[in-house]
Amino acid sequence: MHRFYLPPERCAGNPLRLDGREAHHALHVLRLKRGERVTVLDGAGAEFFCEVESIAKDSLTLSVKEKKSTPPLPCALTLLQAVPKGKIIESIIQKSVELGAHRIVPILSERVVTQLDGDGAEAKREKWQHVAIEAIKQCGATWRPKVEAPLTLAQFLARQEKFELILVGSLQAERRHPRDLLREFEAQHGHMPRSAAMWIGPEGDFTLEELAAIEAAGALPITLGNLTLRVETAAIFCLSFLNYELNRCG
């Protein structure tokens, strides 16, 4: 069944209306016909099972037949990802959707060549948020991660955001296995963390000064194994582990 996205404020009534980019895809790529069944995701936990009721030149009307709601995952995972070269960040965002990320914050580190002003950062955010939308449509995730505009490491740390657990992938000697840290947290608090942040560095990792600042903000360095992983592999590795340990069902 084909999936489409509408923001929550446009999913309040019945029928629903597809227009713009979503309608173009439905009409000119999928060539949907009246009576066909589709799914609409609002990115906030709701899934609408619909039937195409009517078709206009540039829009479709969908009759809602059933609605299903999915609660948020037990742990809100925030990925603090140093922006890598090229378009690798788009692949990381796609995989983050599949692996249960709650939020993605692109970080401009010292080893990132491109620096963005306010307009450029917002344009990137809009582009990357669209990547997240396309990803939930592809995999069927009912919750869409929020993708923020790129920030420097110092700008993010200045927010002093609070997380129950903060981890940073590290190539340095003083690092531990993430499972050990989770077991210690559970033993100390009687439950697994309900919010966690995962720092992933750029090519060549964070500088020593950046790592010191991240750790001073409460991050615990973890090992990602004996091999040096590519940026996108490191992100997938960490989110896979944390999603399995903190958000698994059953």
Q: Quick one: 62 and 16 in the same domain?
A: yes
Task: Determine the Cα–Cα distance for residues 164 and 222; give it in Å rounded to an integer.
Answer: 16
Tell me, yes or no, whether 128 and 145 share the same domain.
yes
Band (pLDDT 50/70/90 cuts) for residue 250 is very low
Shared domain for 148 and 110, answered yes or no, is yes
Roughly how many angstroms between the first and final C-alpha of the chain, as a whole number? Answer: 27
116, 226: one domain:
yes
Structural domains of the chain, count:
2
Query: What region does 100 belong to: left with phi over 0, alpha with psi -120 to 50, or beta?
Result: left
Domain that holds residue 24: 2-69
Residues 55-111 have pLDDT tens digits of: 999 999 999 999 999 999 999 999 999 999 888 999 999 999 999 999 999 999 988
Q: Are residues 103 and 15 in the same domain?
A: no
Least confident of 40-49, 69-78, 111-120, 193-202: 111-120
Q: Give the DSSP H or E segment for 189.
A: helix 178-189
Residue 230 has pLDDT above 60, yes or no: yes
Q: Residue 165 maps to which CATH number?
A: 3.40.1280.10
pTM over cut 0.95? no
> Could you tell me if 140 and 96 lie in one domain?
yes
Q: Got the DSSP string for 21-49?
A: HHHHIIIIIS---TT-EEEEE-SBSEEEE
Residue 222 zone, left/alpha/beta (φ > 0; ψ -120 to 50; rest): beta
On whether both 55 and 107 belong to a single domain, the answer is: no
Domain at 62, CATH number: 2.40.240.20
Q: Does residue 80 share a domain with residue 41?
A: no
